[in-house]
Structure formats: structure tokens, C-alpha cells
Amino acid sequence: MLTIYLFESSGGIPHCFPQFGPGPMQQHGFARNVNWSIADSEVTEGDPAVTLELKDDSYSRSMWDFSFQALYKVSLHSTSLSTTLKITNMDDKPFSFNSALHTYFRASIAGVSVKGLKGCKTLNKDPDPKNPLEGKEEREGVTFPGFVDCIYLGAPSQLILDNGLGDKIAISNSSWSDAVLWNPHQQMEACYKDFVCVENAKIETVQLEPKQSWVAEQKIELV
Ligand SMILES: O=P(O)(O)OC[C@H]1O[C@@H](O)[C@H](O)[C@@H](O)[C@@H]1O
């Protein structure tokens, strides 16, 4: 079964926008902390989809003084979930941002591996998130024997997650050019064994001119 993990303080697929972090504003930006409105909903051949919308307001402008629109479509299918994020510059000046979908998967951490990242340039945020260590991933499958907090630049269009519970999950994307793996290990002693974050990310800055949009798609599928 495809399970996006929920626990009391975090879970699901939080948005990191307009900053992945660390950076000048709050960690991961403001988009995950605010209410989005429902812009559209539909059912196609029995499969539901909803489109959520976020626009700038006084709260967002207190941190990031730009006019923008974010549209986020989530479609559910029998063995997959798809998302499309579209960011549009509604301002009269350019802006830049970076972003991630901070997806939490239910897992048994001792059995988890993520395949597809071999050869990627890494920015290891352990031990200092503000001064990540550059490196290169040499492993076919990344495992989680301890604390992991690592950015992968130039990630492929598909990763395969073995969740340690008997499921293999393909995480495919377009335009999410990077990935982040995170498990807090003993820093979150009560729950770290039960989830892993495999995040589609755009760490390298996107710059949008007025009226320009950036679109990125993600598909999470049992294989
Ligand atoms: O606790 P938060 O803000 O949800 O972030 C959780 C983790 O999210 C990851 O994406 C970051 O790389 C980590 O550095 C961070 O600790």
C-alpha cells in the first residue's frame, strides 16, 4: 500500500517554498505554514484531483516581498499519486526562489534503501547545514544506518525507494532536478524508525521574469 506518512508534528508532502533553507527566512519558507484555497476539483474516470492555490498576502510579503501565484494539483490513482506545482511571477519585477516537496514515506528505517543517486554531486548537511560538505554519491543504494540529511544535485528523473516494509515505490519527476534524503535518527527518537523523507527538490535557484511560470511534476507509484 502507498502510504504517505503522517505524525503529530509533520508528515504528508509539505511544501518548501520560496526557500528550501537554511536562508534568510524561516526554515523551508512559508508555504507549508499557511492555508491554501481550493481552486478546482475534478474526477476523471473515477480518479479524483484537486488544485490548491496560494497567493501572496501580508504574511508572505513580510518575508518575501513579491506577488506570486502557486497552483498545486494533486491527483489520486489506484496505485499512484501525482502532483504538479506551477509557480507564476505576478509581480512587475523578477524574483528567484528554490523549493522542495518534503515527502514523508511510512517505512521501517533499518530496511530502507533509495536507488538512483549513484554519481550525483552531494551537499551533506551533516554536521553543519549552513556549510554543507561537497561530495559524490558512490553507493547504488543509499541506506539509513544513522542520521541522514543530504542534498543530491542533478538527481535522475526516477528514484526507487524500498520502504523496508515490502514495497518498492518509484518516485518520478520532471523539473525537480535535485533530491534530498532525510532521517533524523535519534534526534526524533519516538518516530524516526517509522518514516523516511525522500524529497523532490529544486535547490539551484529558479529565476522568473514577470508573467513567467515554472512547472514541476512528481509521480509516486507502487511498482
Ligand atoms: O524540521 P523541519 O523544518 O520540518 O525540517 C526537517 C528537515 O528537512 C530536511 O529537508 C532538511 O534537509 C533538514 O535539514 C531538516 O532538518
**Ligand 1 centre from 47 Cα, in Å?**
32
Q: Distance of CA 167 to CAs 45, 88, 163, 185, Å?
A: 26, 36, 6, 21
| Percentage of the chain lying above the pLDDT 70 cut | 96
Site of grid cell 527518537: 189
Check which CATH number belongs to the domain holding 70 and give it. 2.70.98.10
Asked if the structure places residue 193 within a domain, the reply is yes
Q: Is 81 helix (H, G, I), strand (E, B) or coil?
A: strand
Asked if the structure places residue 3 within a domain, the reply is no
Asked if the structure places residue 52 within a domain, the reply is yes
Judged against a pLDDT cut of 90, whether residue 196 lies above it is answered with yes
Burial class of residue 185 in the structure, from the number of CB atoms within 10 Å of its CB (0-12 exposed, 13-18 middle, 19+ buried)? middle
Q: What is the pLDDT of residue 86?
A: 98
Cβ–Cβ under 8 Å, residues 214 and 175: yes
Asked if the structure places residue 10 within a domain, the reply is no
Its pTM stands at 0.95
Measure CA 99 to chain center: 7
Q: What gap in Å lies between CA 162 and CA 108, rounded to an integer? A: 10
User: For the chain, how many structural domains are there in total?
Assistant: 1
Judged against a pLDDT cut of 80, whether residue 4 lies above it is answered with no
Q: Kindly state the average pLDDT of the residues 150-159.
A: 98
Query: How does residue 10 score in pLDDT terms, banded at 50, 70 and 90?
Result: confident
Q: Kindly state the average pLDDT of the residues 206-217.
A: 98
Q: Distance of CA 162 to CAs 20, 81, 83, 220, Å?
A: 25, 17, 21, 13
Asked if the structure places residue 136 within a domain, the reply is yes
Locate the ligand 1 atom nearest the alpha carbon of residue 149 and give its number: 12
pLDDT in tens, 19-51: 999 999 999 999 999 999 999 999 999 999 999
Asked if the structure places residue 39 within a domain, the reply is yes
Asked if the structure places residue 7 within a domain, the reply is no
Q: Say whether the peptide bond before residue 127 is cis (omega within 30 degrees of 0).
A: yes
Locate the ligand 1 atom nearest the alpha carbon of residue 201 and give its number: 10
Asked if the structure places residue 161 within a domain, the reply is yes
- Among 1-15, 47-61, 63-77, 174-188, whose mean pLDDT is lowest? 1-15
Domain residue limits at 181: 15-222
**Ligand 1 centre from 211 Cα, in Å?**
31
- Asked if this assembly's ipTM is beyond 0.95, the reply is yes
Judged against a pLDDT cut of 60, whether residue 185 lies above it is answered with yes
